[in-house]
Structure 1
Amino acid sequence: MKIGKHDISGNACIMGVLNVTPDSFSDGGHYTEIEQALAQVAKMVEEGAKIIDVGGESTRPGYTFVETEEEITRVVPVIKAIKERFDVLVSIDTYKTETARAALEAGADILNDVWAGLYDGQMLALAAEKNVPIILMHNQDEESYQNITLEVCDFLNKRAQAALEAGVAKENIWIDPGFGFAKNVEQNIDLLKGLDKVCQLGYPVLFGISRKRVVDYLLGGDTAALERDMGTAALSAWAISKGCQIVRVHNVDLNRDIVKVISQLI
C-alpha cells in the first residue's frame, strides 16, 4: 500500500491512537492541548507508528455526541500541527463528512469511518473526490447475529461495493471488522476466531481492539483500561497471523516488536 510518498506495504504496520477528546475510555483528556498531543505523536512515531489516527469524538459505549463544529475545532489544529512537524500519515477518525473534509484540507491522508459511509451518505463520495484511502468499519445498532463472522463479512462486502460504485479506487478501500461496536464479549471472541474470513475478502484489514472490554475479559475480567496493553499485543499477533495488515493501538512501543516479528512469519 502506497499513500503519496509513504509505502506501508510489506510487513504489518501500526496505527497509533490519538484521542483529542475529554471522554475517551482509556485516555480521555490526556491530549486535548496541542503540545500534549504533539508530544504523544513524537513518542508514537519514534516507537514505530506509521499512521496517527486522530479522533475528536469518543465512540465508547454511552458516548456523548459531539456537534460537527466542535469536532472540527478539536481535530483540525492538531492535524495541521502534526503535518507541520512530522513526516507521518494521519487518519481522521470520524463518521461526519463535513469533519472529514475539514481534516483532509488540514492535511489528513486517510478517512477512518466507524459507520462505513452510512451516517450521512456523503463520505464515500468524498473519498472518491479526494482519491484517498477510506477505512470501512462494521457497525450496527444492536448486538444481534445469527452468524457474526458471516454477517460482518457480508456487511463489509456490501459497503466495499458501495464505495466502488461511488468511484472509490479499489486500492483505496480498507476494511475493519469493528471489534467492540455492537458486539458483546462472546460475539467479539467468535469474530476473533473467524478473523481469517474477514482477511479473505480481498481488502487490507485494520484490526482495532486496543484496551477494549474483550481484552479485559480474556485477561480475567478485573483490569483497568491502561492495564490491557499486553493482552492487546497478544491479540495483535493473532490478528497479523490471520492476515490483518494494520493494527490500531494505544501503546505503540509494546506492539512494535511483536508486529515486526509476527508479520515476517506469515
Structure 2
Amino acid sequence: MPSDARFRTDRRGERSMSTVIDMEPSVRIVVLSAGVSDPSSTRLLADRIAVRVGDGLAAEDVTAMTTVVELAPLAVDIARAVVTRLRSEQLEAAIDALSQADAVIAATPVYKAGISGLFKSFVDLLDEDVMIAKPTILAATAESTRHAMVVDDQLRPLFAFMRALSVPTSVFAAPEDWGSTALGSRIERAATELVQLVISRVGHRMADAAWRHYRHRFGGSASRAEKSSADVDFDTDLMRLATGGSAHQVG
C-alpha cells in the first residue's frame, strides 16, 4: 500500500518527515520503488532524492507530500494482473496514487543489464495517459558500475513512450558511489531540475493545452480519464469517424 509522508525543512535547515493526515498537499510527489531487499538500496536512493526535492520545494515556499509506492509487496498482485488483467484493491491504490501525482521519482534495481522485471511489469499495467507530461526523475541501483547506462538506455525510452517529462539528469548508484560527492551532486542536480519543472507547472500546462491531440488509451485510472459522455471530446478525427462523420483532410 502507498504510504504518505511530508518532507519539511525548518529555518535551521533541519529535515524531518512526518505522516500527513490533516490537509491536502499543494504538490504531490510519488516515489515508485522496485527494490526487494530489506533494507533496499533502491528505496534508500529514492528517499534521498525525495528529501532533496522536498528541500528544494520548501525553499520555494511550496509544501509537498511524498507518497511511497513499494512494488515488492505488490509482486503477486502485479503478476496476477499481467495474466488476468484483474487488479487488487492494493494495486489499484498504487496506480491511483501515481495518476494523481504532480511529479514522480521512479527507482529500480538493475539485474543482468536490465531494469527490474517487477518494475517493467507494473508499468505494463499502467494506462498510457497516466504519465503524460508528468515531471519525473529516473533512478537505478546496481552491484556494478557496468550497469550505469541502463537508466538512460532502458528507463528513459520507457518513460518517453509513456510521454512523461523526464528530467535531463538521471541518477545511478553502485556500492562505491554511496560515499562519493559525485552521487550527491547528481541527486542535487536532478532534484533541482524536478523542482523547477514542478513550480513552473509546465507539465500541467502542456497536458491542458495538448490533451485532445494525444492518442488516449486508458481504462479509467488516468487523472483525466473519461467518466461519462460529457467528458469525451467528440471533435477529433477519430471520434468523427467513429460517429459517422469524416476526418479532416491533411494536405
Give the TM-score category using the shorter length.
Answer: 0.3 to 0.5
Structure with higher Rg: it is: 2
- Give the number of the structure whose residues are more often strand, by fraction: 2
**TM-score under structure 2 normalisation?**
0.37
